[in-house]
Structure 1
């Protein structure tokens, strides 16, 4: 007599955490649509969603490009490049994001303005250009620059791990066939490393959405800053921060579910 294992029922396969999150989302949506107070707060904070997404997308794009360059330097045969890239990664990762945000905003920005004015001294002296001031460097761009530099160090490690996960035998075989370093990276290393890189890279994007709330410390009009201003003027702290949490959860959980689908797809592709 053979034993046939029973297939798990649909109820046993149901992710109850996802059901709970769905119910929480429905309750939050119902409160916003049914309660006039919540609806007013939601309308006031909705403008901050655009700022949050815009800051995150721009900063993450820059951090990805910079992180890839640093990862290539960390895996380069040149020791000088490796040491410089490693120094950058270790220093940046050792500074808290909020501290780095203040440092870039109030120390780095004046230094950048001064350096640009120094480079443009002949044009300024000739009267063709006006000297830049610190006020010309908007706080939104200071926040984007800080997020870009800070996250590039973490993304560089993701790229490095993906690149080093490719078997060295394949690289040696490609080089033996006459491929240049660039073509070897483009056609052999990167396509395989991409499968390892994508899931943690997407998780970093979700983390940046949450960490973008720190830009409110510079007065950037994101969700957190608008919620802070609204709650201090109306004294509706409970309602306001409920809506703030709802907006962040909607964005982060939606992206987290997409990341899970991406990981499942990549696992099936490997099979």
Structure 2
């Protein structure tokens, strides 16, 4: 699947926004029908994972993260070969970028505010040289409304040093005022893609709706960023053989005879408890 014929974008402007704000996006990258199929795949994967130890990890009350196999997501190849995704990866991370993670984040009714955080400690490449070395692409499975605990981001914080923060990821609450001043809630629609630095400070917000808000997450690294060690993507030989060459080139995974359930390695302890909204 390629971008719809009526979709136009300016990668140069997207890259400029990414460098300035730490987040950018493309509206209508896929059809709503494509997104609906993605949602079905996400919820099937979630209900399977939640039943086994280590299959789903908490990201706060009533909020979980699940890593999946590429084969669990029927639109995986569509996503990683989408021309906008490819262009953002090549231009932000270089021609040898590495696809290291595919998973989903699911908040349900009762999910609370998360503390402000980033997804992992910042490398010197970013806080000194202001170079982005990893990207997270997010795709919503529903049209997000204000009661669905929308994603909240503090633009421009991807270059914050963070070495004095707890685990180098969680700024002290005394520093939250700066993020609150910049805070921007996002209301994506089915088919939209966002692209951000995982170091841009962000949080999930309070989820009041009875409708779950599953989000697909694609993680991509520049060579040497090292986040593949936190994940364990695997595909079967027949699936790998059928991939287009441009997908094989960038996918960091094991090729196995039989898929086995994923036991997740990237557990963010600081997100287990919820936080006050202030």
TM-score range, shorter chain: under 0.3
Query: TM-score under structure 2 normalisation?
Result: 0.22
Q: Which has the larger radius of gyration?
A: 1
User: As a proportion of its length, which structure holds more helix?
Assistant: 1
What TM-score, normalized by structure 1, do the two folds share? Answer: 0.22
